[in-house]
Amino acid sequence: MSARPLSRLFSNCARRQAAFSLGPASISIPSTQASSSSSSSASASSASTSSSTPCYDPSLTAALPPLRYHIFREPLPYPLGLKLQNDIIDVRLEAKKRDPVGSRGKGDVVLLLEHTPTYTTGRRDNSPNPDELHPEEKKVQNVGASFYITKRGGQVTYHGPGQLVGYPILDLNVMETPTRCYVEYLQAMLAEYAREDLGLQNVLAPHPDGHVGVFASPTEKFASIGIHLRHRITSHGFAMNITPQPIPWFDLVLACGLADVRAISLHDLLARAQSHSHSQKSVEVIPPVPLTVRDTAEALIPKFGEMFNREILPLEESTEMETKSNLSGSGREGEEEVAAIRRLVERAEEEARVENEKNGGWPDRPDLSKRG
């Protein structure tokens, strides 16, 4: 993987954003240098134009503790994943209250997983008539997946095996990262993976019309983003289709509120690129081993570290600080926070295993025979 300088990635973000007007293009980042101007620039900000002000200064977070990650062994039923994220945030908010300085960044964790077949939507759909089903939910009655209304941004989507789901639980205040920059970084990271690691051409992030996500063309989407923030700590995150397995499920709904866009997977795109290059050469090309969800999860780990300029370690790994756990004060408290998160994650793995066993697994494809 190429060691790509962070600054190049971010200036690309700013240029692309300026071209597609993703949001207010200029932003004053509070830093020790800009302190006098940050709260008095109110009138200037509304006249924002395409500015190449980078969203993020890596040097600001170099001093934070390592990011932690966990790649789940077991596909999670959706409500388990939701409860886990909220429990982790509760632990973090408690730790922050007890020790606002010492806890900084300690509990930043990235969860990588698959879900069992599930449809979800965001909070714009949150005040339905309780007697009426959401229109998209009506379409997928009895196909073998549940439908949940969540507190994240974004609209209807599908999660299931063959799709990598990522839940970075990060304190954006501590990382001094504005919300919209965080969304852009996730988007840029997924696009970079597709372009650089997989060699795919024509990757669009965002869509030419400004829609957030990662697209293979104006009508094909392979990665989505939807975030929820509680006191500036993130939950939910991103989802990327690795194998074609999610596609028939996606085809049953109007995903992301985009009528002309269809879901596509990295497998489909790699096969397309393969056959295209094959047709141009006379040499037989041996197809590579198919990409797995786990392969992608592992490839994204170092990218998270690079993106946020932090060391990134498995959640299970104890740091030197932790083994010297007879330290008093904030050192030990912080390690207790990580240990508490570790326990929550292990409990979720076990509960998922038990539930999946009880249900006899999950359907491979949607059952179209019983729809209303």
Partner 1 sequence: MLSLRFARAASALRTVAAPKPVSRAMRFSAVRFASTRYTTDHEWVTFDGNTNVGTVGITEYAQKALGDVVFVELPGQGSEVAQGDSIGAVESVKAASDIYAPVSGIVDEINEALADQPSLLNKAPESDGWLCKVKLSDPAEFEALLSAEAYKAHCEGE
The catalytic site residues sit at: 256
Considering only the stretches 28-36, 63-71, 197-205, 214-222, report the one whose residues sit in contact with partner 1 under the rule CB under 8 A: 28-36
Pairing of strands 109-113, 163-169: antiparallel
Among residues 122, 162, 168, 246, the one that binds partner 1 under rule CB under 8 A? 122
Stretch that binds partner 1, among 68-76, 171-179, 244-252, 297-305 (CB under 8 A): 171-179
Query: Which range touches partner 1 (CB under 8 A), out of 20-28, 247-255, 314-322, 328-336?
Result: 20-28
Closer residue to partner 1, CB minimum distance, 126 or 202: 126
Q: Which is nearer to partner 1, 5 or 30 (CB)?
A: 30
Q: How far apart are CA 179 and CA 232, in angstroms?
A: 8
- The residues pairing with 148 across neighbouring beta strands, listed in sequence order, are 120
Angle among Cα 163, 235, 1 to the nearest 5 degrees reads: 55
Among 2, 3, 46, 372, binds partner 1 (CB under 8 A): 46
Smallest gap from residue 55 Cβ to partner 1 (A): 10
Minimum CB distance to partner 1 smaller for 171 or for 349: 171
Residue 308 in tokens = 């946020």
Binding status of residue 86 toward partner 1 by CB under 8 A: no
Q: How far apart (Å, rounded) are the C-alpha atoms in residues 50 and 47? A: 10
DSSP 3-state assignment of 270?
Answer: helix
95 belongs to the binding site for partner 1 (CB under 8 A): no
Q: Summarize the chain as % helix, strand, coil (round to 5).
A: 40, 15, 45
Provide, rounded to whole angstroms, the least separation between the CB of residue 166 and partner 1: 14
Residue 173, number of CB atoms within 10 A of its CB: 13
**DSSP code, position 282:** S
Residues 6+ apart with CB under 8 A from 181: 27, 55, 56
Identify the residue among 57, 87, 99, 176 touching partner 1 (CB under 8 A): 176
Of 152, 207, 221, 303, the one binding partner 1 (CB under 8 A) is 152
Residue range at the interface with partner 1 (CB under 8 A); choices 16-24, 214-222, 337-345, 353-361? 16-24
- In whole angstroms, the minimum distance from the beta carbon of 184 to partner 1 comes to 8
**Residue 108 amino acid letter:** D
Task: Locate 242 and state its tokens.
Answer: 């690795």
**Shortest reach from residue 236's CB to partner 1, in Å:** 9
* Of residues 173 and 202, the one with the C-beta less far from partner 1: 173
Three-state DSSP class for residue 41:
coil
Q: Does 287 bind partner 1 (CB under 8 A)?
A: no
Using only the alpha carbons of the chain, give its radius of gyration.
21
228 binds partner 1 (CB under 8 A): yes
Based on the shown chain and the rule CB under 8 A, indicate whether residue 371 belongs to the binding site for partner 1: no
Phi, psi of 264 (to 5 degrees): -140, 160
Task: Tell me how crowded residue 110 is: count the other CB atoms within 10 A of its CB.
Answer: 23
Contact 334, 98 (CB under 8 A): no
Segment lying near partner 1 (by CB under 8 A), choices 231-239, 296-304, 328-336, 362-370:
231-239
225 binds partner 1 (CB under 8 A): yes
Instruction: Give the three-state DSSP class for 77.
Output: coil
* Interface residue list for partner 1 (CB under 8 A): 22-24, 27-28, 30, 32, 35, 38-39, 42, 45-46, 122-124, 126, 151-154, 173-174, 176, 178-180, 182-183, 212, 225-232, 234
